[in-house]
């Protein structure tokens, strides 16, 4: 009896393996191989950075892949205090928090109106938003600089939203993230059923209440997905803050990392630099790991519907 069970299990496994191979085919095998290579190309530098962040400089330059003799957590303390990574990280958190909130609030409302309310010029406005996806931000750096500079000349609010202000950078981040947000959410809102919203309006609910209390909860998977994408993109943004921020105490994290990696040349504190890189990578890695399933469900549900 035991032999029969073992034989059945072995045959089942062989059939499952052959079925997987048959389903994959040559194209599937090449796809999996490409994904494996891409994973290694991404993960190896990250793992090496984490390893170097707890090593001494002698250990880094003697054998890059050797394990440290002792975990040097003081590297992170020097990165936080001496390199001012703590201040840069706080600036990034403030800027990304406000810009992501503004992007999702304005972008979701715009996407909902464009997706659910037909009016004259609807498609023209939608394509105007989407055209921003094809416009490289590098082409807009010079005019963007002068636009933000002129915003600083506005009465009352000018000093708060002009050059070298976090509020001005937040507004630019919102505009920068708006095309993809509207493009993604408008497609998602079109897939939602209209019967629930219509029933709420028959019961006397306003358009605002229908949007915030009914449509937004129904679009939660898509909202979470695009929110995480915006956080990742804005956290890693370097070119825009480089143009718009000048005072060192207002720098964001990417500017601080670039400064410590180039300013001192070969005389810099390499252990502290890798510790600073680790501190910059970990928050986004944690965010993506925690919300990975929500991101996948949001993307797949939007596609399947």
Within 10 A of 70 (CB to CB), how many other CB atoms are there? 9
Within 10 A of 125 (CB to CB), how many other CB atoms are there? 14
| SS3 annotation, 112-150 | HHHHHCCCCCHHHHHHHHHHHHHCCHHHHHHHHHHHHHH
Higher pLDDT, residue 22 or 153: 153
pLDDT of residue 95: 96
Average pLDDT, the chain: 84
Using 50, 70 and 90 to split pLDDT, how confident is the model at 69? confident
pLDDT of residue 104: 96
How many percent of the chain have pLDDT more than 90?
40
pLDDT of residue 21: 53
pLDDT of residue 267: 64
- Per residue in 71-129, pLDDT (tens digit) is 889 989 888 887 788 899 999 999 999 999 999 999 999 999 999 999 999 999 999 99
Question: b/e map of 73-107 (b: 16 or more CB within 10 Å)?
Answer: eebbebbbeebbbebbbebbeebbebbbebbbebb
Going by C-beta distance under 8 Å and a sequence separation of 6 or more, which residues neighbour residue 216? 108, 223
Contact 244, 169 (CB under 8 A): yes
pLDDT of residue 126: 94
Q: Say yes or no to pLDDT of 4 above 80.
A: no
- Per residue in 156-182, pLDDT (tens digit) is 888 889 999 999 999 999 999 999 999
Contact 54, 279 (CB under 8 A): no
Q: What is the DSSP track for 165-181? A: -HHHHHHHHHHHHHHHH
C-alpha to C-alpha distance for 50 and 33, rounded to whole angstroms: 26
- Both tokens of 165, joined, read 């202000």
Provide the whole-model pTM.
0.83
- Per residue in 261-299, pLDDT (tens digit) is 665 555 677 888 888 889 889 988 888 888 877 776 666
pLDDT of residue 222: 87
Q: Say yes or no to pLDDT of 7 above 80.
A: no
Q: Which CATH number fits domain 74-304: 1.10.287.70, 1.10.3720.10, 3.20.20.60, 1.20.140.10?
A: 1.10.3720.10
Q: How much is the average pLDDT of 24-43?
A: 85
- Residue 252 CB-half CA count within 13 A: 26
């Amino acid at each position: 009896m035991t032999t029969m069970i073992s034989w059945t299990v072995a045959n089942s496994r062989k059939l499952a393996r052959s079925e997987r191979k048959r389903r994959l085919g040559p194209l599937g095998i090449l796809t999996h191989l490409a994904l494996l290579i891409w994973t290694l190309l991404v993960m190896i530098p990250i793992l090496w950075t984490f390893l170097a962040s707890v090593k001494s400089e002698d250990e880094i330059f003697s054998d890059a892949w050797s394990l440290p003799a002792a975990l040097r957590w003081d590297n992170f303390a020097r990165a936080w205090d001496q390199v001012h990574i703590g201040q840069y990280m706080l600036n990034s958190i403030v800027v990304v928090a406000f810009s992501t909130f503004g992007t999702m609030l304005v972008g979701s409302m715009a996407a909902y109106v464009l997706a659910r309310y037909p009016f004259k010029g609807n498609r023209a406005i939608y394509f105007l938003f989407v055209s921003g996806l094809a416009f490289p931000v590098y082409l807009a750096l010079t005019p963007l600089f002068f636009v933000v500079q002129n915003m600083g000349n506005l009465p009352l609010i000018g000093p708060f939203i002009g050059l070298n202000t976090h509020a001005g950078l937040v507004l630019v981040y919102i505009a920068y993230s708006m095309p993809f947000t509207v493009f993604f959410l408008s497609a998602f809102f079109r897939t939602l059923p209209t019967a629930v919203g219509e029933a709420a309006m028959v019961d006397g609910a306003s358009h605002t209440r229908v949007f915030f209390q009914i449509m937004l909860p129904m679009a939660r998977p898509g909202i979470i997905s695009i929110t995480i994408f915006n956080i990742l993109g804005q956290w890693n943004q370097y070119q825009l803050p480089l143009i718009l921020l000048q005072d060192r105490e207002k720098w964001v994290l990417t500017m601080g990392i670039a400064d410590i990696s180039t300013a001192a040349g070969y005389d810099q504190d390499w252990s502290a630099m890798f510790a600073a890189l680790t501190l910059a990578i970990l928050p986004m890695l944690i965010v993506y790991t925690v919300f990975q399933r929500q991101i996948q469900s949001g993307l797949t549900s939007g596609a399947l519907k």
